[in-house]
Structure 1
């Protein structure tokens, strides 16, 4: 307890905590969008349960990885090298490289899975598969709860590795990392229901969110190949696209009220 009091009496610890919470919340948005889109494919009475389980598993994975920081940091050690490198920039850093660590392989696999899943969902929304209809005329969901949960767990794993390695890169204080991760996941838990309902009510937002997931998948693959795209550019593009969609929604609402 005394060590915690000493820690948080230090202004630099507070600065690190605030910066890390913001970063973890921003990184958690990607995870939350994926969970919201997948859970909305389930029957309504199962959606909240799927979201809560998915976010709870995200917290468990992040805390488990924090308890194994030494092993996690070891994931950044090179495993094999294909010997290919891109042109060097002014700082002497190659534009890409093929020296892969376990972290790189996890990010590449996660990025490929995200692109595959987002592409499949876009195809489903453009050319929807007919739903199974019962005798009383009600449509029945064609996706199993376990299937949704497995997909959520797989992406939770990828986002958790990225999240914790980001935290390790920003501070070496375990207490700050734990508090930041718990705070970020709590925000995800609070925002999950409103975000999922908003996405469900606005079909065009689903396509926008799937576009975000495609972009995030491409960034994960690029990161795995040593091409580090500044996160600020990615989130600025996402924010601009969201603003355009909000203006479109307001425009549609205004036209519907005047007609």
Structure 2
């Protein structure tokens, strides 16, 4: 109890908590984009349930990993060496997760640009993914992002209560943002392509990190923000054109 009171009255602890909450929310964006795109392939009545299940299991997984922080930290220890490069369990998990993300995003892009009738596309999107398959894929990526998230948390603070509050806060934000983000992505086909491009970039970043090449996250998120702003301007321009065309039709 004294330990918790000491933390509650420590300005350094509050600064660490605020910084870690922001970091965890930012890291959660990657996971949320993947969950939104994946669940949008399910029948509409199953989507909210799948999102809640996916994000809920992400919370359980992260809290479970936090209870084994000492073991998680050991994942960064080298396991074997190849061509002069040492690989840890964390590296291998990041490489596997990155490859999966690149494969999944590339497959989704292929389906998006494949020349099919709307009826065939609708049929394919409803039969190629079941609820259990969606949850299994979400869980796989949850594991990759959770380990990355926990190792980031351990690197920023040694206080377990701060880590738990930050992780829970980030997952609550994900839970609140999941449905609006998924609806926005589903209603705007060009945003889907942009989001898939983000997933490929995130996947390549995970692979690079796994091979020991540090990629500053700030650069990745700056590129994502810039691309999103450009897409926002494109959407505004398209709306303006549609309004103008509608006005011209009304005048005639």
Structure 1 or 2: larger helix share? 2
**Structure 1 outlier segments of 4+, above 3 Å:** 128-133, 137-140
- 1:78 and 1:129 mapped to 2: Cα distance? 48
User: Taking structure 2 as the reference length, what is the TM-score of the superposition?
Assistant: 0.93
- SS class of match (1:228): coil
Quote the residue 2:90 is aligned against: 103
1:141 equivalent in alignment to 2:149: no
| Gapped regions of structure 1 (runs ≥ 5) | 85-97
- SS class of match (2:198): helix
Match of 1:242 among 211, 228, 235: 228
- 1:163 and 1:7 mapped to 2: Cα distance? 22
Quote the residue 2:205 is aligned against: 219
Please show how residues 1-259 of structure 1 align to structure 2 within 5 Å.
Answer: 1-84=1-84, 98-127=85-114, 141-142=126-127, 143-259=129-245
Alpha carbons 2:33, 2:195 under 8 Å: kept: yes
- 1:103 and 1:251 mapped to 2: Cα distance? 44
Alpha carbons 1:222, 1:229 under 8 Å: kept: yes
Sort the Cα spacing of 1:129 and 1:180 in 2 relative to 1 into closer, same or farther, 3 A: farther
| Gapped regions of structure 2 (runs ≥ 5) | 246-252
- 2:243 and 2:119 mapped to 1: Cα distance? 35
- SS class of match (1:80): strand
- 2:206 and 2:194 mapped to 1: Cα distance? 19
> How many residue pairs get matched?
243
The structural deviation recorded for 1:83 is 3.9
Quote the residue 2:250 is aligned against: none
The structural deviation recorded for 1:160 is 0.3
Q: CA RMSD in A?
A: 1.7
The structural deviation recorded for 1:82 is 1.4
User: Taking structure 1 as the reference length, what is the TM-score of the superposition?
Assistant: 0.90
Alpha carbons 1:131, 1:139 under 8 Å: kept: no
